[in-house]
């Protein structure tokens, strides 16, 4: 410990009230202060002016400290890899020896070359012998799990400044990449709230205001998304920036540091089932080895922990699972504490858990992870090379074929693949393949494909990533999961895709640039009308802009054909005669609109169509711009609310008001045409008067869009909002369940048995009535992502728009659902519209844009807001 540091500690003790400080700081949890440290580098406490655990650091303070490290040490390089929505920088601190730093680019390139299968064995073993291991430590993806970023700067200080032999060896034999804070916006939301709520007298009562975070909490990012579900889909700038760096480095070891409830002891590796069966068997041993490395430290310091009983690594979008698909050992750490942890909190057994200890535990695990990596360096590098070798794949499929379709979300999937370092080929000739199996029906037959279609082969470095995402079904031995059970990309994005077990022989070129959808105006000088086919992914964005520009717009309720081209239902029609005052600017406006929204616009010189409705027909539904509100805050899910907000705010670029649920009684609802209720828990805390107000508003012409739990609440007996039958009402489910379960469930099997009755997210083959405006622009067949064991029963009392396949044995496309659940769901309804007075209630009981990657059904929500109110 330096003199300055000693003095500082002393001053801290004098300034802070002894009562508070003595509970906060305990010399049981020190940060290797007995080691020698470089005099040129300040510790976090010296630099920031408070001891670890005394206060939370804001994002800017963490950044300032890392800059100090980079400026005062040749062992540290600080990389800024992006910016959040709220303008905060995202950083990596790359820490290694001075010598390694001077060869960093070579080290990086050599690490990537390790995965090159053309490398000779002797070259490979030379690289393995001489290369450092790449160890990546990620902190704070959940902003209110706030000890981890504090641990990041402690670990960075030790790795950069400690002069002992062991730390020197860490620097020589590893490049340690520290991402101190994956979710700066969420963390600063938490820290700002915490600081504004904290009392002078330390209060460890977990229900005190200081421990009771406000909605929506700091876990999520600006749009209320869980960034620890976004490693694959890259919806957000935090993920996109990080993965670009990750793909450059491809680490052998990745540890993702989190927090869980404050009564839980530390979770360290390995976790529980189910597991991704495609991973090498050796992964399990590695997870165990790293876990035992941490345990050695924890035993020594009497830190309590548990392994194997929680947390699976099945879903590929976690920071603990994605790295394993990229050839590394992906791992999770969960410290007790979380949102309620504060600076200190009393656990159920009367122990005072301090922030200082939470930082200490994570710090110890961070350092021990580097130690285990360095101790096993050559073996880890060999594992990395073996794992990325496609010859070691356990999957039979050789390739996945995506027909080149700019009118669905194929290009969005290609975009993800390119950003994830996947090699995508494009056919340079027409071709046909034997035994090509489609995802919709699972039928294998000879099929023809076209020049320009996309091919993703298994035979590439990222084969584990590709097969995990494209296989129609993932094997799992255990269906009680921590998260969802299905993510097959062609189903999520509702593509007409195929897979084959023979490597396709066809001439191809490697795709190097993201394909762009055509945009522009055909026949821009037209005077009668301009039309925009609603089946284009960006058509809603064009409609929002037309409304902003004060255009009168209609939507075709029927198809029409002219000059051999057929326009689908929902196609937007801008009639020249109805927008006569725009006649001088219309051609230019359409050009700008096509470019802004990324759509094709067709100018037509006549309203007489060859087939189908004429442009001036009564089947042209006049579209009124709906003023739209979404209720948020309890009891609504911030996740679904965030998705819907993101969809309109970022994709459609159509502003909606977000109104806190408890304001409902005081807001003038007549101002709004559409009110969205996101998923909610239970039937909420609506009183009779709020329900009556909403009912009145619907009867007078409002469109209420109720999603997931809110849809069921609308039909519940307690709310009696709409009268739509539910499966739960009809039959006594308990009788059915009893037939297949023992007469009672043993105490220790109860949580598993409950798990088997749930649906942990399953893809159901489903049908849409695409003649209804709610389903305009969508394919007739989709994969609906369901978590519901109850459904709506079809009847003529309302418009049934989306329903599950009626054959229970065909219903499950992927994921897990029990036989009873399949039989109950078959033929029942997840999307419908109920008329009520002059208004209507749209029921969408399955999520329509889950995590913004299950996007196949997303148009249902968009149509509910943009088209249905004008019906």
Q: Tell me the window of 86-94, 258-266, 305-313, 493-501 that interacts with Zn ion (CB under 5 A).
A: 258-266
Output the smallest distance, CB 571 to Zn ion, in A: 45
Q: In sequence order, what are the residues at sequence separation of 6 or more whose Cβ sits closer than 8 angstroms to the Cβ of residue 664?
A: 631, 686, 690, 693, 694
Distance CA 243, CA 234 (A): 8
> Rounded to an integer, what distance in angstroms lies between the CA atom of residue 824 and that of residue 641?
28
CB 145, min distance to Zn ion, A:
5
Least Cβ distance, residue 186 to Zn ion (angstroms): 10
Give the binding range for Zn ion (CB under 5 A) out of 250-258, 312-320, 453-461, 704-712. Answer: 250-258
Smallest separation (angstroms) from Zn ion to the CB of 93: 21
Q: Which is nearer to Zn ion, 138 or 461 (CB)?
A: 138
β-sheet bridge partners, residue 134: 175
Q: How far is CA 589 from CA 409, 525, 549, in A?
A: 26, 12, 9
- The 8-class DSSP code of residue 773 comes to G
Closest approach, Cβ 228 to Zn ion, in A, equals 6
The CB-side HSE value for 273 (13 A sphere, CA atoms) comes to 9
Max Cα–Cα distance, the chain, nearest Å: 89
CB of 58 to Zn ion, least distance (A): 20
Query: Contact region for Zn ion (CB under 5 A) — 143-151, 362-370, 561-569, 750-758?
Result: 143-151
Closest distance of CB 413 from Zn ion, Å: 27
Residue pair 42/164 in contact (Cβ under 8 Å)? The answer is: no
Q: Using the rule CB under 5 A, which residue among 171, 258, 362, 377 binds Zn ion?
A: 258
Q: How far is the CB of 769 from Zn ion (least distance, A)?
A: 41
Q: Which of residues 462-481 bind Zn ion (CB under 5 A)?
A: none
* Residue ranges in 370-389 that form contacts with Zn ion under rule CB under 5 A: none
Among positive and negative, which fits the CA dihedral 220, 229, 815, 857?
positive
- When asked if residue 362 is in the footprint of Zn ion (CB under 5 A), the reply is no
Token pair belonging to 423: 């090699």
**Cβ closest to Zn ion, residue 366 vs residue 845:** 366
| Residue 232 or 464 with smaller CB distance to Zn ion | 232
Q: How many CA atoms, within 13 angstroms, populate the side-chain half-sphere of residue 27? A: 4
Cα-flanking dihedrals φ and ψ of residue 799, to 5°?
-85, 115
Binding to Zn ion by CB under 5 A, coded x per residue (else -) over 85-124, reads ----------------------------------------
- Closer to Zn ion at the Cβ: 242 or 258? 258
Stretch that binds Zn ion, among 28-36, 255-263, 371-379, 784-792 (CB under 5 A): 255-263
Nearest approach, Cβ of residue 481 and Zn ion (Å)? 16
User: Which of 334, 425 has the CB closer to Zn ion?
Assistant: 334
Closer by beta carbon to Zn ion, 145 or else 790: 145
Between residues 85 and 482, which has the closer beta carbon with respect to Zn ion? 482
142 is an interface residue for Zn ion by CB under 5 A: yes
State yes or no: residue 340 binds Zn ion (CB under 5 A).
no
State in angstroms the smallest separation of the CB of 385 from Zn ion: 31
Select 258 or 695, whichever has its Cβ closest to Zn ion.
258
Stretch that binds Zn ion, among 45-53, 75-83, 256-264, 574-582 (CB under 5 A): 256-264
- Residue that has been written with the tokens 């897979």 in this structure: 499
Binding range to Zn ion, per CB under 5 A, among 61-69, 116-124, 138-146, 272-280: 138-146
Q: How far is the CB of 260 from Zn ion (least distance, A)?
A: 7
Alpha-carbon distance 838 to 863, whole Å?
18
Q: Cβ distance 761 to 787 under 8 Å?
A: yes
- Give dist(CA 253, CA 307) in Å, integer: 19
Q: How far apart are CA 173 and CA 132, in angstroms?
A: 4
Q: What is the DSSP letter of 573?
A: E
Instruction: Specify the residue, 185 or 453, whose C-beta has the smaller distance to Zn ion.
Output: 185
Residue number closest to Zn ion, CB atom: 258
- Least Å distance, CB 565 to Zn ion, is 51
Nearer to Zn ion, 369 or 683 (CB): 369
Cα–Cα distance for residue pair 51/703, rounded to 1 Å: 55
DSSP structure string for 331-393 = EEEEEEEGGGGSSEEE-TTS-EEEHHHHHHHHHHHHHHHHHHHHHTHHHHHHHHHHHT-GGG-
Cβ distance to Zn ion smaller for residue 187 or 258: 258
Residue 65 C-beta: closest distance to Zn ion, Å: 23
Which of helix, strand or coil describes residue 89?
Answer: strand
- Least Å distance, CB 140 to Zn ion, is 9
Nearest Cα to Cα of residue 161 among 74, 230, 241, 245: 74
Q: By C-beta, is 231 or 498 nearer to Zn ion?
A: 231
Measuring CA to CA, which residue among 284, 293, 291, 223 is closest to residue 678? 223
Contact string 653-682 vs Zn ion (x = CB under 5 A): ------------------------------
**Residue 336 vs 537, nearer CB to Zn ion:** 336
Q: Two tokens at 93? A: 């601190």
Q: Minimum Å distance from CB 367 to Zn ion?
A: 21
Number of helices (H), then strands (E), in the chain: 29, 36
Which one of 41-49, 135-143, 487-495, 759-767 is the stretch in contact with Zn ion (CB under 5 A)?
A: 135-143
Closer of 139 and 476 to Zn ion (Cβ): 139
Mask 145-184, x = binds Zn ion (CB under 5 A)?
x---------------------------------------
Q: Which is nearer to Zn ion, 46 or 145 (CB)?
A: 145
C-alpha torsion 505→507→513→517, nearest 10? -90
Q: Are strands 89-95 and 799-804 parallel, antiparallel or unpaired?
A: unpaired
Query: How many residues contact Zn ion, by CB under 5 A?
Result: 3
* Residue whose C-alpha is closest to residue 827's, from 846, 849, 810, 851: 810
Output 218 or 635, the one with its CB closest to Zn ion.
218
Phi and psi (nearest 5°) for 335?
A: -85, 145
Burial bucket for residue 483 (CB in 10 Å: 0-12, 13-18, 19+): middle
CB of 256 to Zn ion, least distance (A): 8
DSSP calls for 312-346 = ---STTSTTTHHHHTTSEEEEEEEEEGGGGSSEEE
Burial (CB < 10 A; 0-12, 13-18, 19+), residue 496, is: middle
Q: How far is the CB of 139 from Zn ion (least distance, A)?
A: 11
Q: Which stretch binds Zn ion (CB under 5 A): 77-85, 141-149, 475-483, 822-830?
A: 141-149
Smaller CB separation from Zn ion, 145 or 230 = 145
Contact between 343 and 53 (Cβ < 8 Å): yes
Cβ proximity of 122 and 115 under 8 Å: no
Q: Give 229 or 258: the residue with its C-beta nearer to Zn ion.
A: 258
Quick check: 583 and 530 in contact, CB under 8 A?
Answer: no
Q: Which residues bind Zn ion (CB under 5 A)?
A: 142, 145, 258
């Amino acid at each position: 410990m330096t003199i300055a540091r000693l003095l500082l500690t002393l001053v801290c003790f004098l300034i802070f009230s002894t009562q508070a400080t003595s509970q906060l700081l305990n010399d049981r949890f020190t940060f290797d202060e007995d080691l020698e440290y470089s005099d040129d580098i300040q510790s976090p406490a010296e630099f920031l002016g408070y001891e670890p655990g005394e206060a939370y650091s804001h994002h800017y303070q963490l950044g300032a400290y890392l800059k100090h490290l980079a400026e005062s040490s040749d062992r540290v390089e600080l990389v800024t890899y992006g910016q959040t929505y709220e303008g905060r920088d995202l950083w990596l601190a790359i820490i290694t020896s001075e010598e390694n730093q001077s060869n960093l680019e070579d080290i990086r390139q050599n690490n990537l070359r390790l995965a090159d299968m053309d490398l000779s064995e002797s070259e490979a073993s030379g690289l393995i012998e001489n290369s450092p291991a790449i160890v990546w430590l990620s902190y704070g993806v959940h902003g209110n799990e706030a000890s981890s970023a504090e641990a990041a700067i402690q670990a960075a200080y030790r790795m950069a400044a400690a002069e002992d032999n062991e730390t020197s060896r860490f620097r020589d034999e590893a490049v340690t990449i520290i991402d101190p804070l994956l979710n700066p916006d969420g963390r600063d939301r938490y820290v700002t709230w915490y600081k504004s709520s904290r009392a002078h007298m330390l209060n460890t009562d977990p229900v005190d205001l200081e421990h009771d975070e406000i909605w929506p909490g700091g876990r999520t990012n600006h749009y209320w998304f869980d960034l620890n579900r976004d490693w694959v889909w890259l919806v957000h700038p935090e993920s996109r920036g990080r993965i670009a760096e990750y793909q450059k480095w491809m680490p052998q070891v990745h540890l993702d540091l989190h927090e869980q409830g404050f009564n839980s002891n530390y979770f360290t590796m390995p976790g529980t089932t189910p597991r991704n069966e495609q991973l090498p068997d050796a992964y399990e041993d590695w997870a165990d080895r790293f876990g035992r490395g941490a345990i050695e430290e924890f035993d020594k310091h009497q830190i309590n922990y548990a392994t194997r009983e929680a947390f699976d690594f099945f879903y590929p979008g976690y920071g603990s699972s994605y790295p394993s698909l990229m050839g590394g050992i992906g791992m999770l750490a969960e410290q007790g504490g979380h949102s309620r942890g504060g600076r200190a909190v009393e656990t159920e057994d009367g122990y005072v858990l301090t922030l200082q200890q939470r930082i200490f535990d994570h710090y110890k695990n961070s350092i021990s992870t580097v130690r285990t990596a360095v101790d096993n360096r050559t073996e880890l590098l060999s594992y990395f090379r073996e794992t990325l070798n496609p010859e070691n794949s356990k999957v039979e499929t050789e390739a996945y074929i995506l027909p080149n379709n700019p009118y669905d979300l194929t290009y969005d999937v290609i975009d993800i693949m390119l950003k994830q370092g996947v090699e995508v080929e494009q056919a340079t000739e027409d071709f046909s393949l034997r035994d090509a199996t489609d995802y919709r029906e699972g039928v294998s037959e000879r099929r023809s494909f076209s020049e320009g279609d996309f091919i993703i082969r298994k035979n590439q470095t990222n084969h584990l990533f590709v097969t995990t995402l494209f296989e129609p079904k993932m094997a799992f031995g255990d269906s009680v999961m921590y998260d969802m059970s299905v993510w097959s990309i062609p189903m999520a994005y509702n593509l007409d895709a195929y897979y084959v077990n023979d490597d396709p022989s066809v001439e191809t070129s490697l795709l190097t640039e993201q394909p762009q959808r055509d945009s522009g105006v055909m026949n821009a000088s037209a005077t009668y009308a301009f039309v925009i086919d609603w089946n284009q992914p960006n058509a809603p964005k064009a409609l929002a802009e037309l409304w902003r520009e004060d255009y009168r717009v209609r939507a075709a309720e029927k198809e029409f054909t002219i000059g051999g081209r057929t326009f689908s239902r929902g196609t937007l029609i801008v009639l020249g005669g109805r927008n006569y005052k725009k006649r001088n600017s219309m051609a230019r406006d359409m050009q700008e609109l096509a470019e802004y929204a990324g759509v094709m616009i067709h100018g037509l010189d006549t309203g007489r169509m060859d087939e189908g409705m004429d442009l001036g027909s009564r089947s042209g539904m006049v579209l009124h711009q709906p003023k739209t509100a979404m209720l948020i805050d309890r009891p609504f899910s911030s996740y679904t609310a965030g998705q819907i907000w993101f969809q309109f705010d970022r994709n459609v670029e159509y502003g909606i008001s977000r109104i806190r649920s408890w304001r409902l009684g005081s807001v003038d609802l007549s101002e709004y045409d559409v009110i969205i209720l996101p998923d909610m828990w239970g039937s909420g805390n609506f009183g009779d008067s709020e329900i009556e107000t909403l009912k009145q508003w619907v009867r007078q012409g409002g469109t209420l869009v109720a999603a997931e739990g809110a849809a069921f609440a609308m039909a519940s007996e307690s709310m009696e909002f709409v009268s739509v039958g539910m499966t739960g009402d009809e039959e006594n489910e308990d009788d059915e369940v009893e037939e297949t379960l023992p007469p009672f469930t043993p105490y220790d099997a109860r949580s598993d048995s409950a798990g088997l009755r749930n649906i942990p997210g399953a893809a159901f083959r489903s049908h849409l009535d695409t003649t209804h405006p709610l389903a305009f622009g969508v394919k007739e067949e989709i994969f609906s992502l369901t978590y519901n064991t109850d459904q709506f029963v079809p009847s003529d009392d309302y418009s049934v728009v989306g329903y599950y396949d009626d054959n229970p044995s065909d219903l499950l496309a992927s994921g897990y659902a029990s036989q009873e659940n399949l039989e109950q769901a078959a033929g029942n309804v997840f999307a419908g519209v109920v008329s009520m007075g002059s208004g209507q209630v749209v029921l969408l009981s399955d999520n329509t844009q889950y995590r913004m990657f299950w996007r196949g059904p997303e148009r249902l929500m968009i149509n509910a807001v943009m088209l249905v109110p004008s019906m």
